[in-house]
Structure 1
Amino acid sequence: MRQSPRLSLTRPSRSLAEIAEPHPSTIAADTVPDLPLVTHVTHPIARAWQTLQIDFSIIFERDPAARNWLEVLVCYPGWHALVLHRLAHWLHVRRVSFFPRLIAHVARLFTGIEIHPGATIGKGMFIDHGMGVVIGETAIVGDYALIYQGVTLGGTGKESGKRHPTLGNHVVVGAGAKVLGNIQVGDYVRVGAGSIVLRDVPSTCTVVGIPGRNICRRDQHVCPLDHGKIPDVQADAVRLLLDRIERLEQELKDLKNQ
Structure 2
Amino acid sequence: MFKRMKEDIHVVFDQDPAARSAFEIVLTYAGLHAVWGYRVAHWLHQRRLFFLARAVSQLIRFLTGIEIHPGAQIGRRLFIDHGSGVVIGETCIIGDDVTLYQGVTLGGTGKEKGKRHPTLGNNVLVASGAKVLGSITLGDNAKVGAGSVVLKDVPPNSTVVGIPGTIVVQNGVKVTKKLDHDNLPDPVKDKCDMLERKIAVLQEEVARLRELNKEQVKEEQ
Q: TM-score range by the shorter chain?
A: 0.7 to 0.9
CA distance in structure 2 between the partners assigned to 1:128 and 1:216 by the alignment: 26
Q: How does 1:55-74 map to 2 (within 5 A)?
A: 55-74=8-27
1:224 to 175, 178, 185: 178
TM-score norm. by structure 2 comes to 0.83
Return the offset for 1:222.
3.2
CA distance in structure 2 between the partners assigned to 1:235 and 1:182 by the alignment: 29
CA distance in structure 2 between the partners assigned to 1:233 and 1:124 by the alignment: 32
Aligned to 2:125: 172
Return the offset for 1:86.
0.8
Distance 1:240 1:211, change over 3 A: closer
Q: Which structure 1 residue ranges, 5 or more long, are not aligned?
A: 1-47, 250-258
1:153 aligns with 2:106: yes
Larger helix share, 1 or 2:
2
Contact 1:62 1:225 in 2 (8 A): no
- More displaced stretch, 131-140 vs 51-60: 51-60
Return the offset for 1:55.
1.6
Contact 2:86 2:104 in 1 (8 A): yes
Superposed CA deviations along residues 149-208 of structure 1, whole A, max 9, x for unmatched, are 111111111111111000111111111111011111101111111111111110111111
AA matched with 1:219: G
Q: How does 1:161-200 map to 2 (within 5 A)?
A: 161-200=114-153
- Match of 1:98, SS state, is helix
Aligned to 1:85: 38
Aligned to 1:115: 68
AA matched with 1:231: P
1:213 aligns with 2:166: yes
TM-score norm. by structure 1 comes to 0.72
Aligned to 2:28: 75
2:97 to 138, 144, 147: 144
Return the offset for 1:234.
4.3
Contact 2:108 2:135 in 1 (8 A): yes
- More displaced stretch, 201-210 vs 219-228: 219-228
Give the length in aligned residue pairs. 203
Contact 2:101 2:128 in 1 (8 A): yes
